[in-house]
Amino acid sequence: MWLHIDPRSEVPLYQQVVDQVREAVARRWLQPGDRLPSVRELAIKLALNHNTVAKAYQELEREGLIETLRGRGTFVAERKPRTASPEDLAWIEQQIRQLLIAAHHLGLEPETWLELAGRVVARWREPEGGSS
């Protein structure tokens, strides 16, 4: 199971599920058509309430990443070709700036940060755990 929940994190439990499915889809660990665990099944495995898992799935469907079929289950949706809008780009830029600020206060200057980002991008399509 590639999903793991940290109950002591400040990140809401349903949000942790959303984040991890998002990552799995983005990195193609999950392919379109793949079936996700059922709401109740996943709730038991992660020791969560079924309502919490359902909330995560509903958020993911709202984003268009998954499709749910009554009585059948939940599946990874087809990836729709999409071009980032100017608003999207502005939002992404803002997020980058926020990260630059945080990195600066941790002692990482923008140029060094950019090198680090380059390395992360280079490792983008690798399996999961880089080293042992």
Q: Which residues bind DNA (CB under 7 A)?
A: 12-15, 36, 38-41, 47-52, 54, 57-58, 61, 68-74
**Residue 3 burial (10 A CB sphere; 0-12, 13-18, 19+):** middle
Binding site for a copy of itself (CB under 8 A): 19, 22-23, 25-27, 63, 65, 81-84, 88-89, 91-93, 95-108, 110-111, 113-114, 116-118, 120-121, 124
Cβ-based nearer residue to a copy of itself, 71 or 129: 129
Edge to edge, the sheet with strand 73-76 lists 35-36, 73-76, 66-69
d(CA 108, CA 71): 51
Q: Which does 86 bind (CB under 5 to 8 A by kind): a copy of itself, DNA, none?
A: none
- For residue 131, the minimal CB distance to DNA (Å) is 31
The one-letter amino acid at 18: V
Cα 72 to its chain centre, rounded Å, is: 24
| 70 interface partner picked from DNA, a copy of itself, none, CB below 5 to 8 A per type | DNA
Q: Residue 56 to residues 18, 59, 112: CA-CA distances in angstroms?
A: 5, 5, 35
Helix (H, G, I), strand (E, B) or coil at 101: helix
CB of 44 or CB of 89, closer to a copy of itself:
89
Q: How far is the CB of 5 from DNA (least distance, A)?
A: 9
